[in-house]
Amino acid sequence: MSLLISVLKDPAQARSLSPRNWDILIRQARHANLLGRLYRILEGSGELPAVPERPYNHLVSGSVMADRQHLSIKYEVGFLHKTFRQHGIPLILLKGAAYVMAGLPSASGRVFADVDILVPRARLEESESALMQTGWVNTALDAYDQRYYRQWMHELPAMQHMFRGTTLDVHHTILPPTSRLRPDPALLTEASIELPDWPGVRILCPADMVLHSATHLFHEGEPDNLLRDLTDLDLLLRSFGSQSGFWSELTSRARQLQLGEPLRLALRYTSRLLDTPVPSGVIQRMSAWEGGGIRQKLLDAIYLRVLRPQHQSTSDTLSPLARKLLYIRSHWLRMPPHLLAYHLGHKALFPPKTVSVPLTKDEINL
């Protein structure tokens, strides 16, 4: 158990931390991208006065950065709203952007690197064209990467704004069409909710928001933000869990969308690591979906390591292996074996190329 997870669960522990433990805690929080959230949790529990000056400065810095990003997200959503409204294209915000615009507790102290949106597959080309007309450009230069995203993936290659530098991920569904799980994106769109102050801007309904967060977390192959995403799930479940009928809707919706396994893992690890309050009946129902003892033990061996801050203070001898197995698992879930072998072989022979899009001041003046 990491020191960061312990303090997230019980902020009162901050009162008794030594200077050395404060140093470790701040380093762990920084590696997990949770400095801003840790600040908000300590603030909400009344523990900030117990924080020494130096770690306090780091926490405040993390909180200020998160607040600044939230302002930027609102700014970008305003531009996206205008662009999509002009073309009559529905705009559904996902993940961090949705949390911020809806004012959910899961936005508290959260930092993120991009804006994620969902548009209908039938209007994907029109959406990309509309975005390019307003300064968004594609960041994938490699012809193989272009084909990989457009033919096999659930999103366009990442786009970046030429002048503002913001990164945008345009999804047409929440999992690749080649993956073993294939939730129907039309069901997500039909159940989405319009934001009261933003006509035409929508977010997923509560059950779908939880399921998307769980699906993203347990299909991701990079461990850096997994603990942050787990705390997102914890806050979402605590927020929505008090709503009448939420838990029954969540489990039935998981069956309908074929996302029972990501939900089972989400409830298992949020309750185990963060003490998320999940009704016992729901836990029993999820346990019935478990796919075998040996398989679950292997998943525990992986996820109990990668759901820690990825800092040397939380690593053990098996942590590097767990990260490799996570990467392999994510690709195995994403593609059938023949396509996976072809993709990994191509990447090994031809490393991907990326481009830095933001222009210099002189280039802008041209």
Q: What confidence tens digit (pLDDT) does each residue in 157-213 have?
A: 889 999 888 999 999 999 988 888 889 999 999 999 999 988 889 999 999 999 999
3-state secondary structure the chain: CCHHHHHHHCHHHHHHCCHHHHHHHHHHHHHCCCHHHHHHHHHHCCCHHHCCHHHHHHHHHHHHHHHHHHHHHHHHHHHHHHHHHHHCCCEEEEHHHHHHHHCCHHHCCCCCCEEEEECCHHHHHHHHHHHHHCCEEECECCHHHHHHHHHHCCECCCEEECCCCCEEEEECCCCCCCCCCCCCHHHHHHHCEECCCCCCEEECCHHHHHHHHHHHHCCCCCCCCHHHHHHHHHHHHHHHCCCCCHHHHHHHHHHHCCCHHHHHHHHHHHHHHHCCCCCHHHHHHHHCCCCCHHHHHHHHHHHHHHCCCCCHHHCCCCHHHHHHHHHHHHHHHHCCHHHHHHHHHHHHHCCCCECCCCCCHHHHHC
Q: What is the pLDDT of residue 143?
A: 77
Tokens of 54: 């130096």
Using the predicted structure, report yes or no on whether residue 365 has a pLDDT greater than 80: no
Tokens of 271: 């309750």
Using the predicted structure, report yes or no on whether residue 360 has a pLDDT greater than 50: no
Q: What confidence tens digit (pLDDT) does each residue in 198-250 have?
A: 888 999 999 999 999 999 999 988 888 999 999 999 999 999 999 999 999 99
First to last CA, the chain: 54
Backbone angles phi, psi at 160, to 5 degrees: -135, 140
Q: What confidence tens digit (pLDDT) does each residue in 12-53 have?
A: 999 999 999 999 999 999 999 999 999 999 999 999 998 999
Tokens of 134: 């307003």
Give ∠ CA 23-29-30 in degrees, rounded to 5: 90
Weakest-pLDDT range from 77-91, 301-315, 343-357: 343-357
Which amino acid is residue 118, in one-letter code?
Answer: L
Is residue 153 within 8 A of residue 207, CB to CB? The reply is no
Q: What is the pLDDT of residue 281?
A: 86
Using the predicted structure, report yes or no on whether residue 348 has a pLDDT greater than 80: no
Q: What is the pLDDT of residue 258?
A: 93
Domain boundary assignment for the chain: 3-354
Closest C-alpha among 226, 191, 227 to residue 206: 191
Sign (positive or negative) of CA dihedral 209, 26, 167, 71 = positive
CATH class of 3-354: alpha beta
Is residue 280 within 8 A of residue 297, CB to CB? The reply is no
Q: At what angle do helices 260-274 and 206-217 cross, to 10 degrees?
A: 80
Q: What confidence tens digit (pLDDT) does each residue in 242-290 have?
A: 999 999 999 999 999 999 999 999 999 999 999 999 998 888 877 766 6
Q: What is the pTM of this model?
A: 0.89
Closest C-alpha among 220, 234, 231 to residue 323: 220
Tell which wins on pLDDT, 117 or 286: 117
